Copies of this chain bind each other. A is one copy, B any other.
Amino acid sequence: MAQGNLLYAQSGGVTAVINATAAAVISEARACKVKVLAARNGILGALREELIDTSKESAASIRALAHTPGGAFGSCRFKLKSLEEDRAKYERLLEVLKAHNVRYFLYNGGNDSADTALKVSQLAKAFKYPLTCIGVPKTIDNDLAVTDVCPGFGSTAKYTAVSVREAALDVAAMADTSTKVFVYEAMGRHAGWIAASAGLAGASPEEAPQIILFPERVYDEKAFLAKVRKTVAKVGWCVVVASEGIRYADGRFVADAGGSKDAFGHIQLGGVASHLAARIKDELGMKVHWTLPDYLQRSARHIASKTDWEQAQAVGKAAVQLALRGQNAVMPAIVRTSDSPYRWRIEAVPLTRIANREKKIPNRFLRKDGFGITAAARRYLRPLIQGEAPLPYRQDGLPRYIELKNVAVKKVIPEQT
């Protein structure tokens, strides 16, 4: 039988569906009579003893949470270092967990978070504190090892493919007298999964996006500009999707090339799309437009993938079940059993196989010319954007998103001096 409380924390950049995972964790734990505390602003909330009592939220609120983007309890960019370097912090964390009778720790994040969950589990063992630690996968970057896909990615992929398709229709209509080249900047500092998903917008290399730039390939300006020129000559216009993380042969980020000072001596922020657009304008003399969707691509719950939404909930539910079964230091991973129709199941994978690893796009997914995706990539990506996650709208035309009450748990540890 379940005993003790469960602590749930979100980590790193939020997504359109991380709250769906949270909602599933809370629902499943409620069904098993386990109380869920949430850390305010991720692991920092745990260290500061800033905890939220989710039992104060109604069942209707938790249902609404499942379709609300952002991070309902707050997340953070904060990585615990090694046990040696950050020992005091790890011990403080254990102290807080003990003080609130937390026996299950669910950390919802990427490979950094898997590493933290693993270390917490090791320390608990060393201190003989009975704690089950579970990593729960989340990241739009899709760079986690082992799992078929990371919840969050499918929705960003769908946003990207749909947005690129729509913008391409716009560009095609205007190219005769206006914009010839459109550049779309996708998130992805080290892995080009999001940019790759844009490839789903078209069915062939002639269809938009005609050019995708991946961080897995060296950026060669000459080859790129030649490809733009050729595409415009053939199609009449060209859509480019660029990962923010593309680099020159010498390792410099292209985005950094844009960093400069303006006429007033103010620093200008860099950006890949802005830089590429300027180069196309300068070198090819074509009218260019560009977009930087930035956070819109990871918060656009209104165009979330149903597949992604279901997987986000499935890993949340499975995480609670694994925790209550005492399966320590694992992550519920998604295992694909069929491409078409897409079939998958959840499997527990040791955190040691996830922590601090990074899954880049395999070679067989990238076209020989480096500017697009292969049929194998399409087979992998296509199911991930399938289906439209249901979303209720208010009468005023906005989605029915919720803000939780987030009632604080009373602190019990004396303030440190």
Contacts and interface: CB of A to CB of B under 8 A. Distances in A.
Interface residues of A, number: 87
A320 B290 CA distance: 37
Contacts of A301: 166
A148 interface: no
A1 to B, nearest CB: 34
Interface string A91-112: 0000000000000000000000
Given A71-B174, A166-B302, A397-B387, A266 B294 contact: no
Interface string A238-272: 00000000000000000001111111101111010
B169 A68 contact: yes
Nearest to A74: B173
Contacts of A158: 397
A369 interface: no
Interface in A9-44: 10, 13-14, 16, 41-42, 44
Contact of A176 (B41, B171, B397, B401): B41
30 contacts: A13-B174, A14-B169, A14-B174, A44-B176, A44-B177, A70-B170, A74-B174, A78-B177, A163-B296, A166-B300, A166-B399, A167-B295, A167-B299, A169-B299, A169-B401, A170-B295, A170-B298, A200-B397, A260-B268, A266-B279, A267-B282, A290-B292, A291-B293, A292-B292, A293-B293, A302-B303, A386-B396, A386-B397, A388-B393, A388-B397
B305 A397 contact: yes
Given A274-B269, A279-B266, A385-B396, A401 B165 contact: yes
Binding site of A, secondary structure by majority: helix, strand, loop or mixed? mixed
A55 to B, nearest CB: 21
Nearest to A15: B170
A146 interface: no
B399 A162 contact: yes
Interface in A362-417: 382, 385-388, 393, 395-399, 401
A49 to B, nearest CB: 15
B399 A385 contact: no
Given A41-B177, A176-B44, A266 B282 contact: yes
